[in-house]
Structure 1
Amino acid sequence: MHSDTSVLASNRDEFLERPTARADWWDIPHTHILGPRDLKAGVNGTWIGISKRGHMAFLTNNHEMGSPVTNKRTRGLLVHDFLVDDQVSPADYLTRLLPEGQLYNGFNLVVGDLCRTAFYAGSNHTRNDDNEKDDTSTLSLEPLPLDQVLGLSNADLGTPQDWPRVQRGVMVMTEILGQQLAREALIEELFTMLRDSSPFTPTNLPQTVEEARKPICLPPIQLHQQWYGTGVSTVILVDHDNHVYYSERELVTQDGAPVSEPGRTFEFMIDPEPATN
C-alpha cells in the first residue's frame, strides 16, 4: 500500500520467443478486462490482469515443484477464469480449485477483489510440519495482509530467503513507498526498481540457477538454445477512488535486444455495478 493506493510491481521472466500479446482490452464479451495474453497454448491465458468490475489476479510458476509435466492444464487459465467470472469471490474461487491442484504444474496464484479489499494467495505446493517439501499437490490458500509490502517469485510465498531478488525487491519497494511520491514519480521509481539487474551486467551474466535468483530483472541469457529473461514489466496503481493506472513496458526483443519504444498506459475507473441497457 502507498497511502490510500494499492500498488503492484511485476516482472515476467520467460522464454523471449514465446508468443505473447501486449496488454490491451480483451475481445467481446470480456471488453471490461485489461491484460496481456499468452498465445502459446492457444487458449489466450494470461499471467496478470485486472477488470473494471474490480477483479485482479496474477500468477508465477513455482520452480520448487520440479520440471514441468507436458500433459498438465495451462496455468494461464487460472488468472483468465477468475477475471471473467465477475460474481465469484477470491476465497470461493480458490476453494473451487482445491480438488484440481494436481492438474497443473507448480504455481502461485494471487486473486483479489478491489471493491471488497480482499486478496488471497493459492498454491498447489504444500509443505509438511517440518517446513520440508511435500510431494502432494493439493491447493493451499491464505488471505493476504494489505498493509505491508509482500514479495513473490518462483517459490512459495513467505520464503524469500531462497530468492535474493525477493528480499531486495521488498526492501527497495518499501523505501520507494515510504517517500510518498506523486503518481508519475512513483511509477518511474517502480519501473527503475523492476529494471535492476544488479549484480549482473550484459557482459557478466548469471551462470547457474542460484545466480539467476539474484537480480530483480534477469538479463537475457541462453537457456536450452533459446533466449530467456525478463521480457516485460508491469506497474498497477489503484487509488482510494478506484481510479486505476496500468502501465506496461517491454524490456527486450525476442533475441534479447533492448527495447527503446515507450510503454503502454491505461487509465480507467472500477465500476462493480455497470449500467445495463
Structure 2
Amino acid sequence: MCIVLVTTAHPDYALIVLDNRDEFVLRPTSRPHWWTSHHQSILSSRDLQRAEQGTWTGITKTGNFAVLTNYRETDTHDAKHPIQGTRSRGGMVTAWLEAPNDESTEMFARRLLEAEGVQGVGGFSLLCGKLRRRRDTVDGERELEPLAIISNRCDSSEDVPWIAEKRGEVYGLSNTSYSDPNVWPKVQMGKEMVLDVVENVVEHGLGEEELISKLYDVLDTDTLPLQNGRDFEEYILELKKSIFIPSIGQTETPPIQLPADEIATANPTLTKESKEYETELKEKERPEPAAAMTGIYGTQRQTIILVDWEGNVTFRERALWDDKGNKIKRGEADMTFRFGIEGWNGESKGNDVLPIAVL
C-alpha cells in the first residue's frame, strides 16, 4: 500500500515529492545509483526480482521524472485489467525514464495508452513528467510544467489527469485510481500533514535539512489498527489507514540460492555502480520469485525529492531493512544525490552531476 505525496506549496521549491514503498522486505532491490539506458543517465533504485529490473521512482539528468503506485485488480472477468500482470509495472517507470529527450509527456502518454503499451500490466498509476520551469506568468507567479497521472484506467491520453502546474497545491496517490472519489484516509492525512510541514518550515525560516527531517516524520506516521489475529488478506484492507506500514506477516522466509547467471538478459548499458550491484547480486542469496512475495511486509524504502527553482535536485532515499530482513536504524542507510537538471530553463546543456553524498 504505497503512498506518494506531491506539493508545490513551498516558495523555494518548484516541487517536493514524498514516497513510501511498501513491499515484502526480502524482495531484492538495489540501492539508488546512476545507470545508463538508451543514452539516458537515470538515477533510481531497481527491482532485482523481475527480469525488467524496473523501479518505482526515478529521475534522469535531463529531468524526466516518474513515480509509480500499483493497485490490485479484483474482477476476474475483466480481460483488459488482469489480476496477475504478465509484465512488470516497474517497466512503466523505466519506459518514461528511457524516453527520447524530444518526446514530450503528452506524446509519451499517447504512445503508452494508444499503442497497447499498458497491455498485460497489473493495475498501476504512473505520475510522470518533464521537470521544466515555465516562464513566469504576467503577475510574476512561477510555474512548473504539469505532470501526468497515467494508468490502465485511462482509455486514451485525453483521460489523463494533469497536476502540479499551480502553486500552493498538494496531491496524494496510493493504491487505487487517482480518480477514485473515495479518498483513502492515509492520503487525506498525508496531504494535510505535508501542508502543515511546509507552513511551519516557511514560517520559522528552516532550511533544507530541517524540511527533510519533518517530511520523513510524515512518512513515518503510523496509524495502522492492530491486526488482532486477522489473516493478511483481510488485514490488508486496513493498510489504507496508515501512511507508514510497520512490519506485518510471517518472520521466516527461507533463502534460495540464485544461479550465478540468472540476471536479466537485456540489461541496459551499465555504469560502474550498476556493475557493482550486479556482481553483488550474483554473489549472494536471494529468495526465489514465490518466496519474495511472502514473509515480512511493510514500508521498505522512503524517498524524498526536492527540486528548487534553479533546477537543482536533492534525491534522498532511506532504507529501513537490509537484504537479510533486519531492521536498519533511521538515517543509517540514507543515500543522498544532488545534481542540476539539464534543460531546466529550456537550454540544451545543464550542470554536471555533483558527487554522491552518502549520509
User: TM bucket by the smaller chain?
Assistant: 0.7 to 0.9
- Percent of residue pairs identical: 34
Distance 1:199 1:78, change over 3 A: closer
Q: Does 1:74 align with 2:88?
A: yes
Q: CA deviation at 1:66?
A: 5.4
SS in 2 for 1:26: strand
Aligned length: 265
SS in 1 for 2:160: strand
Q: Superposition pairs for residues 242-253 of structure 1, below 5 Å?
A: 242-253=311-322
Worse overlay, 204-213 or 140-149: 204-213
Question: Equivalents in 2 of 1:168, 1:252: separation in Å?
Answer: 25
Question: Equivalents in 2 of 1:82, 1:274: separation in Å?
Answer: 20
Pick from 254, 263, 271: which aligns with 2:334? Answer: 263
TM-score, normalization by structure 1: 0.85
Q: What does the per-residue CA deviation read over 1:211-253, in whole Å, with 9 as the maximum and x for residues that have no partner? A: 1111101111117742111100000000000010000001234
Distance 1:71 1:270, change over 3 A: closer
Q: CA deviation at 1:70?
A: 4.0
Worse overlay, 247-256 or 232-241: 247-256
Q: Does 1:168 align with 2:168?
A: no
Q: State which structure, 1 or 2, has the greater radius of gyration over its C-alpha atoms.
A: 2
Distance 1:158 1:254, change over 3 A: farther
Letter of the aligned partner of 1:107 in structure 2?
Answer: F
Distance 1:141 1:58, change over 3 A: same
Q: CA deviation at 1:14?
A: 1.0
Distance 1:69 1:138, change over 3 A: farther
Worse overlay, 49-58 or 93-102: 93-102
SS in 1 for 2:31: strand
Q: Does 1:186 align with 2:257?
A: no
- What's the counterpart of residue 274 of structure 1? 349
Distance 1:30 1:222, change over 3 A: farther
Question: Equivalents in 2 of 1:204, 1:194: separation in Å?
Answer: 26
Letter of the aligned partner of 2:106 in structure 1?
Answer: A
Cα RMSD after superposing both structures: 2.7
Distance 1:185 1:65, change over 3 A: farther
Contact 1:161–1:167, Cα closer than 8 Å, also in 2: no
SS in 2 for 1:38: coil
Q: Does 1:111 align with 2:128?
A: yes
Q: Does 1:3 align with 2:31?
A: no
- What's the counterpart of residue 54 of structure 1? 63
- What's the counterpart of residue 26 of structure 1? 35
Question: Equivalents in 1 of 2:191, 2:229: separation in Å?
Answer: 24
- What's the counterpart of residue 197 of structure 1? 222
User: Which ranges of 4 or more aligned residues in structure 1 deviate by more than 6 Å?
Assistant: 201-207
Unpaired segments ≥5 residues, structure 2 = 1-7, 77-81, 134-144, 251-292, 351-359
Distance 1:34 1:227, change over 3 A: same
Q: Does 1:38 align with 2:47?
A: yes
Pick from 161, 173, 184: which aligns with 1:152? Answer: 173
Q: Does 1:88 align with 2:103?
A: yes
Q: What does the per-residue CA deviation read over 1:86-129, in whole Å, with 9 as the maximum and x for residues that have no partner? A: 22111111111113233211100111111252311111125xxx
Letter of the aligned partner of 1:270 in structure 2?
Answer: I
Q: Does 1:217 align with 2:286?
A: no
Q: CA deviation at 1:58?
A: 0.8
Contact 1:57–1:79, Cα closer than 8 Å, also in 2: yes
Q: What does the per-residue CA deviation read over 1:49-72, in whole Å, with 9 as the maximum and x for residues that have no partner? A: 011101100111023555864452
Q: CA deviation at 1:258?
A: 2.3
TM-score, normalization by structure 2: 0.67
Worse overlay, 25-34 or 47-56: 25-34
Distance 1:54 1:187, change over 3 A: same
Question: Equivalents in 1 of 2:242, 2:314: separation in Å?
Answer: 26
Letter of the aligned partner of 2:96 in structure 1?
Answer: F
Q: Does 1:238 align with 2:246?
A: no
Question: Equivalents in 2 of 1:4, 1:74: separation in Å?
Answer: 36
Worse overlay, 150-159 or 96-105: 96-105
Letter of the aligned partner of 2:349 in structure 1?
Answer: P
Question: Equivalents in 2 of 1:251, 1:203: separation in Å?
Answer: 25
Worse overlay, 91-100 or 216-225: 216-225
Question: Equivalents in 2 of 1:111, 1:240: separation in Å?
Answer: 19
Question: Equivalents in 1 of 2:296, 2:324: separation in Å?
Answer: 6
Question: Equivalents in 2 of 1:28, 1:96: separation in Å?
Answer: 19
Q: CA deviation at 1:31?
A: 6.3
Q: Does 1:121 align with 2:139?
A: no
SS in 1 for 2:108: helix
Worse overlay, 223-232 or 41-50: 223-232
Q: CA deviation at 1:202?
A: 10
